[in-house]
Amino acid sequence: MLEIAALSHFYGKHQALADVRLDIASGEIVAILGANGAGKSTLLKSIAGLVTPTSGARIRFEGADIAKLPPHQIVERGISLVPEGRAVFGELTVAENLQLGAYPARARAGEEQRLAKVLALFPRLTERMTQAVRTMSGGEQQMVAIGRALMSNPVLLLLDEPSLGLSPLLSREVFRALAQIRESGVSVLLVEQNARASLDIADRVYLIESGRNAGTGSASDMKNNPDIQRAYLGKARAPTTASQPSP
């Protein structure tokens, strides 16, 4: 579905991405793990057309090169981004935010059915349709942001730190929704600080360090990797042989 190769990007003289490669198949959840400043958000913005990669980058979506397309054309192809910080329209109501998501031409047919699916995914939005989004909790705003993206009828959903600032309860609700979104046939590319929750729902994982690929594998293998456990899951290093008691 999505194939990326030789993807690089500079902010001035700072290289944020260096020859990154990645692919995601239809129906997958792929997680991207890495430290703050590793280039994860820039990667998502490059796919969404919000930043321009250096010459030679290849971003192919469903067989077509989208590396030089403007953001609105990428949305029309079926890619939707939920950015870090949500970027909802706070003065507008929930209903108005969701209606804006259905603006692309690809989304206008079946808008009512898609809205029903969004409200089934996030039932608490049903009773808040006339509420100004700025008056809602962070978790509810995140539901609006994800719902708005789904209203564009995507086949690939990009999410940048969807649980950032949310309570554990609301984080679990968001991750439950992401698993359901995948079951509906939408692929998900996920950047998320909560590595444990990401690994629980992802099929595969890419590691990004200093803007470069640092490893990839299945989520189950990554969860059992001692280096991944120490770096991302908060597990302590096992005792050395010298400190083990004698048999």
pLDDT at 29 over 50: yes
What does pTM read for this prediction?
Answer: 0.90
Q: Which residues are within 8 A (CB) of 34 and not within 5 positions of it... i.e. 6 or more apart?
A: 40, 207, 208, 209, 214
Print burial letters for 113-133: b (CB count within 10 Å at least 16), e (below 16): ebbeebbebbeebeebeeeeb
pLDDT at 237 over 80: no
Spatial contact of 98 and 117, defined as CB atoms under 8 Å apart? no
**Residues 2-235, CATH architecture:** 3-Layer(aba) Sandwich (3.40)
- pLDDT for the residue numbered 152: 97
Assign 233 a pLDDT band (cuts: 50, 70, 90).
confident
Residue carrying structure tokens 């989304």: 107
Assign 227 a pLDDT band (cuts: 50, 70, 90).
confident
| Mean pLDDT of the 173-177 span | 93
Share of the chain above pLDDT 70, in %: 95
- Report phi then psi at 20, rounded to 5: -75, 140
What sign does the CA torsion over 173, 176, 180, 182 have? positive
Higher pLDDT, 245 or 86: 86
Residue carrying structure tokens 């030789």: 6
Summarize pLDDT for 35-46 with one digit per residue, the tens. Answer: 999 999 999 999
- pLDDT for the residue numbered 165: 86
pLDDT at 230 over 90: no
pLDDT at 18 over 90: yes
Assign 197 a pLDDT band (cuts: 50, 70, 90).
very high
| Mean pLDDT of the 190-196 span | 92
Assign 47 a pLDDT band (cuts: 50, 70, 90).
very high
pLDDT at 235 over 90: no
pLDDT at 134 over 70: yes
Q: In what order do the strands lie in the sheet with 58-61?
A: 14-24, 2-11, 58-61, 64-65
pLDDT at 243 over 90: no
Q: How many CB atoms lie within 10 A of CB 171?
A: 19
Please give the Cα distance from 129 to 116 (Å, whole number).
12
Q: Where are the domains of the chain?
A: 2-235
Tell me the pLDDT of the chain averaged across its residues: 92
